Amino acid sequence: MEKAVNWLFRILDIFIITATANFYLLQKNKLSGWCLVFLALLFIVVSVSPQFFCNKKKAIRLTICQQGCELLYAFLGSIFALLIIEVVLFLGKENNGFESFMVWTDWLLHILCIFLIECVIFWNGIIRVYTTSNQLGMKWRVWGIVCGWIPIAHLIALGKILQVAGQEVKVENSKILLNESRREQQICATKYPILLIHGVFFRDFRFFNYWGRIPKELEQNGAVIYYGNQQSAASVEECGKEIVKRIQEICRDTGCEKVNLIAHSKGGLDARYAISLLGAEDLVASLTTINTPHRGCEFADYLLSKVPEQQKQMIAKAYNTALKELGDKEPDFLAAVTDLTSSVCYERNYHIKDSEKVYYQSVGSKLNVASGCRFPLNLTNLFVKYFDGENDGLVGEKSFCWGENYEFLTVRGKRGISHGDMIDLNRENFQDFDVREFYVQLAADLKKRGL
């Protein structure tokens, strides 16, 4: 029903815009001045608030984005309608009482009127969409600008922009409604708080969350979230020590007995080391590793064996300098990379024994094709595949599994799910996998287990 009403008002918008664009022609036909005033007012209403009768969104950003899409649909529809009207008028000008319409001054004023009105609708819509859509990203914004000057291509680009922005409104609004419907259930309110542990070469920055939109989604459903704050590039042992201190700090400040650890990539190795060799087992209820290379990466062994020592030191120095500027106190690029090799992981796994006091589970994913991911994982996918087989762009499938429960994720088609997708790195919605809801259900399962 709502869909039918939306289409009804979309058609009404097109009619109003088309009629307004022809106001000069209608005036020549002695249309009542009051009707013209009424038509102008309707045009202003449509321009300011399309879909003003129905389908109100829960968030201002989504409302503006939805209105921008409606204006662009009205723009495309009215352009098509006006083309038909102009052709009909031109072909039937001798018999329909509009002989004077073809006087060049009348024609010029008429075309100018149409141009200005359509410009108002188009720019009103495109500015709203460009300033509020998160899913368009830089790619489609640039393509829209470039293709805007190319006939036919500009319609294709506009169609894609409408598809992406419209789908975003639909998905985000459905998530808002879903979270509202289960707010009282607090399905992510685990017994112990959740500590999110980042992977290598990233930090827990205040204004760019490593975990994307995931923490907010968890908190909206009752979870209490903390961050590891360990260095981005250090050995597993050093990062493990920092994680132990962070766990102790959280338990001391909150009075909780334990924490639930959710660790991505190398963070999973750091967490296992902290639990088994640094005495954190009594303070950890569960460890969930996300795309962690538990058995290492064979391509890392290859790179370290082939790159000359002098070059390795030069690369390490450059990285350490940059990482120190980003907040690492004692970055050690080579130590971090070396601890990801399959040989070192094999040796470490021999000494690290899982604690019987902790519930362990793991998650992995894979890219279906290299082009299914953004730079740079689209480049490394084939390289990693040569050494480690099917992978997520960085870590091979055989390295993910650890613990009592293991879940392997992918989606149909060419895309797949990358190493970065598993932490919502690009804040991207895509078909068949909702990363935010995945973490919500993960936390809900921990709650059901009493953790």
3-class SS letters over 17-85: HHHHHCHHHHHHCCCCHHHHHHHHHHHHHHHHCCCCCCCCCCCHHHHHHHHHHHHHHHHHHHHHHHHHH
Find the domain containing 222 and state its range. Answer: 187-448
Query: What are the C-alpha distances in Å from 32 to residues 20, 36, 107, 313?
Result: 14, 7, 21, 83
Peptide bond preceding 376: is omega within 30 degrees of 0, i.e. cis? Answer: yes
What value does the mean pLDDT take over residues 232-249?
A: 94
Domain boundary among 179, 206, 231: 179
What's the pLDDT tens digit per position in 400-442? 999 999 999 988 888 889 999 999 998 988 888 999 999 999 9
What is the rounded CA–CA span in Å between residue 48 and residue 36?
18
What value, to the nearest 5°, has the Cα angle with vertex 416 and ends 415 and 417? 125
Please give the pLDDT value at position 100: 47
Same domain, yes or no: 96 and 157: yes
Structure pTM?
A: 0.85
Name the domain count of the chain: 2
Domain boundary among 179, 196, 230: 179
Residues in contact with 195: Cβ distance below 8 Å, sequence separation at least 6, in sequence order: 226, 227, 228, 246, 247, 250, 259, 260, 261, 262
Same domain, yes or no: 49 and 131: yes
Same domain, yes or no: 202 and 65: no
Same domain, yes or no: 148 and 229: no
Give bridge partners of residue 289 from the DSSP assignment. 263, 362
Same domain, yes or no: 380 and 440: yes
Same domain, yes or no: 121 and 260: no
What is the rounded CA–CA span in Å between residue 380 and residue 371?
11
Same domain, yes or no: 286 and 305: yes
Please give the pLDDT value at position 86: 65
Range with top average pLDDT, 3-17, 156-170, 265-279, 366-380: 265-279
| Residue in the structure block whose two tokens are 């990203």 | 137
Whether residue 68 has pLDDT greater than 60: yes
Please give the pLDDT value at position 323: 84
286: closest CA among 247, 257, 260, 251?
A: 260
| Residue in the structure block whose two tokens are 């030069």 | 314
Please give the pLDDT value at position 140: 84
Give bridge partners of residue 195 from the DSSP assignment. 226, 261
What's the pLDDT tens digit per position in 362-378? 999 999 887 777 777 77
22: closest CA among 74, 78, 95?
A: 78
Same domain, yes or no: 438 and 319: yes
Judge contact between 237 and 243, C-beta under 8 A: no
Judge contact between 362 and 409, C-beta under 8 A: no
Same domain, yes or no: 174 and 197: no
Q: Where are the beta strands (DSSP E) in 330-385?
A: 359-365
Position with higher pLDDT, 154 vs 45: 154
424: closest CA among 413, 412, 440?
A: 440
| Residue in the structure block whose two tokens are 């994680």 | 243
Domain boundary among 146, 179, 212: 179
Same domain, yes or no: 171 and 195: no
Give the tokens for residue 29.
Answer: 């036909």
Same domain, yes or no: 148 and 231: no
Judge contact between 374 and 415, C-beta under 8 A: no
387: closest CA among 372, 398, 376?
A: 398
Report the CATH number at residue 212.
3.40.50.1820
What value does the mean pLDDT take over residues 232-248?
A: 94
Same domain, yes or no: 301 and 322: yes
What's the pLDDT tens digit per position in 104-135? 566 666 677 777 778 888 898 899 999 999 99
